[in-house]
């Protein structure tokens, strides 16, 4: 009899929690939401995050406040979200660094899906091979030829050791059997500044971060790294088209929440995210920034993250990349 009473009590408790979650979701959101961006202002993820925050704020009727938490190669902001209450009022705009750091750093500073719930992907964008105009190359084939003629004399900048802009370069070196020296910076922004100044030769940059400079001619775009040419630069070939089979690397931005966030809140946020990313003016906005809308449901986004964890892990092993100490 005691067992039966305990079972009924347990069932009532579960149903009570479910009803509470449902009621919580119906009243959500009731105050401003903080959106953590684990990079500095002006970065590619920052640009997209602010556009998404503005449109979702309008749809939800509350302010979504962008909060830049740069540092630690992107881990500081991510860890802040992992430790935040799972109430839907602290979110993360995730980027490839989210999956890179989870595989590069030992022990991992966080784990997916243990610490995070996927809300949905927002955009996708390729990286782009960009060089300073003074470098005497106008195609990927010419870049490879010059790198092989001058081994160890060309260099490429990145947002830091283990950053996705570093690993995309290492994978290019592996596939093309070239020796190009890596120059890490504390963020992609400073690397782009030095590339514009001619202090480094090239970058494997996120397209969102350098598109205006490519369009203005301040940087020369040789090829983009996606499976297809982006809408923002249809005249520039992909790296595969340029003669490097198998080289397809894409960047993504998407929303995540602490793992304890109620499923009903995740569903509500995903519905708003998908809706705003499907609007024509939003598509035009992110395309102008160098990205394409790619809204997805939580399970689809979770599968993307799981796949990325494997891909970056393989590249890290191939290039023997060690985290900065």
Q: Do 127 and 251 contact (CB within 8 A), yes or no?
A: yes
Name the band, by pLDDT with cuts 50, 70 and 90, for residue 201: very high
Residues 6+ positions from 314 with CB-CB distance below 8 Å: none
CA distance linking residue 57 with residue 32, whole number of Å: 9
- Which tens digit of pLDDT belongs to each residue from 127-148? 999 999 999 999 999 999 999 9
Mapping DSSP to helix (H, G, I), strand (E, B) and coil, where does residue 67 land?
A: strand
Tell me how crowded residue 280 is: count the other CB atoms within 10 A of its CB.
8
Residues in the chain: 325
Span 185-203, mean pLDDT? 94
Measured in Å, how far apart are the chain's first and last C-alpha atoms?
60
Please check the confidence at residue 2 and state whether its pLDDT lies above 90: no
Write the DSSP assignment of 219-257 as a string of letters: SEEEEE-SSS--TT-TTSPBTTTTT-TT---EEEEEEEE
Containing H/E element for 75?
Answer: helix 75-82
The pLDDT tens digits for 81-102 are 999 999 999 999 999 999 999 9
Residue 175, classified by CB atoms within 10 Å of its CB into exposed (0-12), middle (13-18) or buried (19+), is middle
Domains of the chain: 32-124+250-319 (3.40.190.150), 126-224 (3.40.190.10)
Backbone angles phi, psi at 42, to 5 degrees: 90, -10
% helix / strand / coil in the chain, to the nearest 5?
Answer: 45, 20, 35
pLDDT tens digit string along 258-316? Answer: 999 999 999 999 999 999 999 999 999 998 888 999 999 999 999 999 999 999 999 99
- What pLDDT was estimated at residue 189? 86
């Amino acid at each position: 009899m005691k067992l039966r009473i305990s079972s009924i009590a347990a069932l009532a408790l579960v149903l009570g929690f479910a009803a509470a979650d449902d009621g919580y979701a119906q009243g959500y959101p009731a105050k401003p939401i903080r959106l953590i961006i684990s990079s500095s202002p002006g970065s590619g993820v920052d640009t997209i995050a602010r556009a998404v925050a503005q449109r979702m704020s309008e749809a939800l009727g509350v302010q979504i406040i962008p909060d830049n938490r740069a540092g630690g190669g992107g881990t500081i902001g991510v860890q802040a979200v992992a430790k935040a209450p799972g109430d839907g009022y602290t979110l993360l705009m995730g980027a490839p660094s989210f999956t890179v750091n989870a595989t590069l750093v030992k022990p991992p500073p966080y784990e997916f899906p243990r610490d995070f719930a996927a809300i949905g992907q927002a955009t996708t964008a390729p990286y782009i091979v960009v060089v300073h105009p003074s470098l005497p190359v106008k195609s990927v084939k010419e870049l490879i030829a010059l790198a092989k003629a001058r081994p160890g004399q060309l260099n490429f900048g990145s947002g830091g050791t283990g950053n996705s802009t570093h690993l995309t370069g290492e994978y290019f070196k592996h596939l093309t059997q070239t020796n190009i020296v890596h120059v890490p910076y504390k963020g992609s922004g400073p690397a782009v500044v030095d590339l514009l100044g001619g202090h480094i030769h090239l970058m494997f940059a996120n397209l969102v971060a350098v598109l205006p400079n490519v369009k203005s001619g301040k940087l020369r775009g040789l090829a983009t790294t996606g499976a297809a040419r982006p809408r923002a630069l249809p005249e520039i070939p992909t790296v595969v088209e340029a003669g490097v089979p198998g080289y397809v690397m894409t960047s993504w931005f998407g929303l995540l929440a602490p793992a304890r966030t109620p499923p009903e809140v995740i569903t509500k946020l995903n519905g708003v995210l998908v809706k705003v990313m499907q609007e024509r003016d939003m598509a035009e906005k992110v395309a102008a920034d160098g990205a394409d809308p790619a809204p997805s449901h939580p399970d689809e986004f979770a599968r993307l993250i799981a796949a990325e964890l494997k891909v970056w892990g393989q590249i890290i092993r191939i290039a023997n990349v060690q985290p900065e100490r």
